């Protein structure tokens, strides 16, 4: 594979939000992006891989499909893996990790045995060491007797933006927060309020979007460790990153936990949006509508499956609903929770529900409203 090779690029999405990621990918410039099970797919080049990692806010990771072959038994897998041109993508001096997923539709259904054959082929034919903590991961899917090879070009999950070090209990991942904001039609041109902000993820993501900042500007990626990495082009692309805009907006977070408010402020400062964000120590009942135009109230309240006593939570959700109905006329609301009964306790006029979304081992849903009357 050369720098100009075209291949399939797969963007991993949280299940249930593939359509939102597909919309974002098209907005970023991947016009041929199409929604598929588990993510978004399009054909592109290594320049597109770099761009996807750098700019997409909602992708969990970016996979590059580097090839495939048919294999009906382990001996055939071993033979063909030894002939595969690993050196076009993998460096012989960079450790690699191999992850195999298979199913009963294939004659090779033992993932552990398949992993061993591929690891041996890479280490003996290419010379690259195999390690569990390797910076580069080769993902292999054996489906209907076809072995499909993809390189994880991201490395650490893309929710790790590179500037948040302080997190609270049950944090919202940045990638998921960005997709949920998009699902509420947030486009960076209105204020956002989170009255249970925790470490500030919704508020900071909203401010970064408004400021036009690239999601991956503060971190490195696994593709920098690949044999065909164009370091000069990558350096030019990073140098050409847009400078932060100064929107005439403010983004507001509050929490009853003083430590969370301090964390959120520190995280916003590290992300370069400290001047756009205002975090205060306050209970939900003390929430006040900010001056200025209406916008979006985005909140991920506690839910009993993860934190606290569920019975006590009904009062919290009820209080949240009363405050929003009485003080936030004209604002839209997005509430993320695993419990429909808790969401209904707000008394808010929710729109029809979308699909469940995987979050921290739970299935959550996004409850949205039109502008409140």
Render pLDDT for 25-73 as a digit per residue (tens, 0 to 9).
Answer: 999 999 999 999 999 999 999 999 999 999 999 999 999 999 999 999 9
- Strands of 34-36's sheet, edge to edge? 34-36, 39-44, 7-12, 61-70, 146-152, 136-143, 96-102
**Is pLDDT above 90 for 3?**
no
List strand residue ranges (DSSP E) for the chain, in order.
Answer: 7-12, 34-36, 39-44, 61-70, 96-102, 136-143, 146-152, 192-194, 251-255, 277-281, 296-299, 332-337, 357-359, 362-368
Hey, CA dihedral for 366, 371, 372, 373, is it positive or negative? Answer: negative
* 4 band by pLDDT with thresholds 50, 70 and 90: confident
Average pLDDT over residues 6-10: 97
Reduced to 3 states, what is the DSSP secondary structure of residue 352? Answer: coil
Instruction: Examine the domain organization and report whether 113 and 191 are in the same domain.
Output: no
Whether pLDDT at 308 is above 80:
no
pTM, full prediction? 0.94
Same domain, 53 and 192: no
Q: Taking 70 as the threshold, does the pLDDT of residue 307 lie above it?
A: no
In this structure, the answer to whether residues 144 and 199 fall within a common structural domain is no
Q: Kindly indicate the confidence band of residue 210, based on its pLDDT and cuts at 50, 70 and 90.
A: very high
Q: What is the mean pLDDT of residues 173-202?
A: 96
pLDDT of residue 358: 85
- Is residue 229 a part of any domain in this protein? no
Residues 265 and 135 in one domain: no
Residues 104-142: tens digit of each pLDDT: 889 998 999 999 999 999 999 999 999 999 999 999 999
Higher pLDDT, 3 or 328: 328
Residue 187 and residue 139 share a domain: no
Give the pLDDT confidence score for residue 314 in this predicted structure. Answer: 92
The predicted structure's pLDDT at residue 64: 98
3-class DSSP state of 113: helix
**pLDDT at residue 224 greater than cutoff 90:** yes
Q: How many CB atoms lie within 10 A of CB 271?
A: 24
pLDDT of 169: 63
User: What's the chain's length in residues?
Assistant: 373
Q: Is there a domain that residue 373 lies in?
A: no
pLDDT at 302: 85
Q: Helix or strand or coil: residue 351?
A: coil
Residues 185 and 127 in one domain: no
Return the CATH number at 112. Answer: 3.30.2130.30
Q: What is the pLDDT of residue 205?
A: 97
Q: What angle do CA 48, 18, 182 make, to 5 degrees?
A: 90
Examine residue 146 and state whether it is found in any structural domain, yes or no.
yes
Output the average pLDDT for the chain. Answer: 94
- Residue 359 binned pLDDT confidence (cut-offs 50, 70, 90): confident
Q: Say if residues 18 and 76 touch (Cβ distance below 8 Å).
A: no
Provide the domain limits for residue 339: 174-215+243-368
Q: Using one digit for the tens of pLDDT, what is the confidence trace for 133-176?
A: 999 999 999 999 999 999 999 999 999 998 877 666 667 899 99
- Report pLDDT for 361: 81
User: Looking at per-residue confidence, does 165 or 325 come out higher?
Assistant: 325
CATH of the domain at 315: 3.40.50.150
Contact assessment for residue 82 and residue 124, using Cβ atoms and an 8 Å cutoff: yes
Same domain flag for 352 and 203: yes
Q: Which of 10-14, 86-90, 166-170, 304-308 has the lowest mean pLDDT?
A: 304-308
The verdict on 37 and 178 lying in the same domain is no
pLDDT at 8: 98
Count Cβ atoms below 10 Å from residue 324 Cβ, excluding itself: 25
pLDDT of residue 311: 78
Nearest to 80 by CA among 53, 120, 52, 107: 120
Question: How many angstroms separate the Cα of 348 from the Cα of each of 61, 167, 208, 354?
Answer: 35, 29, 28, 16
Picking from 119, 124, 127, 105, the residue whose alpha carbon sits closest to that of residue 77 is 119
- Do 208 and 175 contact (CB within 8 A), yes or no? no
Predicted pLDDT at 5: 86
Residue 222 lies in a domain: no
What whole-number percentage of the chain has pLDDT above 70?
97
312 or 164: which leads in pLDDT: 312
Say yes or no: 182 and 122 in one domain.
no
Q: Are residues 139 and 208 in the same domain?
A: no
Whether the pLDDT of residue 336 is over 80: the answer is yes
Same domain for 103 and 33, yes or no, is: yes
Please check whether residue 25 lies inside any domain of the structure: yes
pLDDT-derived band of residue 310, with 50, 70 and 90 as boundaries?
confident
Within its chain, how far is the Cα of 275 from the centroid? 25
Structure confidence at residue 168 (pLDDT): 62
User: Do residues 174 and 201 lie in contact, with contact meaning Cβ atoms separated by under 8 Å?
Assistant: yes
Cα→Cα distances 301→174, 190, 335, 371, Å: 16, 22, 7, 20
How many structural domains comprise the chain? 2
**Does residue 323 lie within any of the structural domains?**
yes
**What is the C-alpha separation between 26 and 30, in angstroms, rounded?**
5
The answer to whether residue 161 is domain-embedded is no
The pLDDT of 242-267, averaged and rounded, is: 93
Average pLDDT over residues 261-268: 94
Establish if 296 belongs to a structural domain: yes
102 and 200 co-located in one domain: no
Asked whether the predicted pLDDT for residue 21 surpasses 70, the reply is yes
């Amino acid at each position: 594979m050369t720098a100009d090779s075209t291949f399939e690029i797969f963007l991993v999405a949280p299940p249930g939000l593939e359509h939102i990621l597909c919309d974002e990918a098209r907005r970023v410039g991947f016009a041929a992006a199409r929604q598929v099970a588990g993510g978004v797919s399009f054909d592109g080049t290594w320049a597109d891989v770099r761009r996807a990692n750098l700019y997409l806010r909602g992708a969990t990771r970016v996979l590059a499909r580097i090839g495939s072959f048919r294999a009906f038994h382990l001996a055939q897998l071993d033979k063909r893996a030894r002939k595969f041109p690993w050196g076009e993508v993998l460096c012989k001096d960079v450790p690699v990790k191999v992850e195999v997923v298979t199913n009963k539709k294939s004659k090779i259904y033992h993932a552990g045995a398949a992993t061993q054959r591929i690891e041996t082929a890479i280490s003996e034919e290419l010379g690259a060491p195999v390690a569990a903590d390797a910076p580069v991961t080769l993902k292999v899917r054996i489906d209907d007797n076809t072995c499909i090879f993809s390189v994880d070009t991201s490395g650490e999950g893309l929710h790790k933006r590179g500037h948040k070090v302080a997190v609270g209990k049950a944090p919202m991942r940045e990638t998921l927060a960005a997709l949920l904001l998009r699902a509420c039609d947030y486009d960076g041109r209105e204020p956002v309020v989170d009255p249970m902000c925790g470490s500030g993820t919704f508020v900071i993501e909203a401010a970064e979007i408004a400021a036009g900042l690239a999601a991956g500007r503060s971190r490195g990626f696994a593709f920098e460790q690949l044999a065909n990495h164009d370091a000069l082009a990558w350096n030019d692309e990073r140098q050409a990153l847009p400078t932060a805009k100064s929107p005439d907006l403010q983004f507001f977070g509050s929490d009853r936990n003083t430590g969370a408010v301090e964390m959120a402020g520190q995280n916003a400062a590290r992300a370069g949006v400290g001047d756009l964000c205002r975090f205060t120590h306050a209970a939900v009942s003390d929430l006040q509508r900010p001056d200025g135009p209406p916008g979006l109230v985005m909140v991920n309240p506690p839910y009993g499956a993860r934190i606290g006593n569920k019975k006590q939570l009904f009062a919290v959700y009820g209080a949240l609903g009363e405050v929003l109905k009485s003080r936030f006329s004209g604002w839209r609301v997005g509430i993320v929770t695993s419990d429909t009964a808790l969401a209904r306790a707000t008394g808010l006029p929710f729109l029809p529900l979308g699909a469940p979304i995987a979050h921290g081992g739970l299935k959550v849903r996004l409850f949205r409203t039109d502008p409140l009357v």
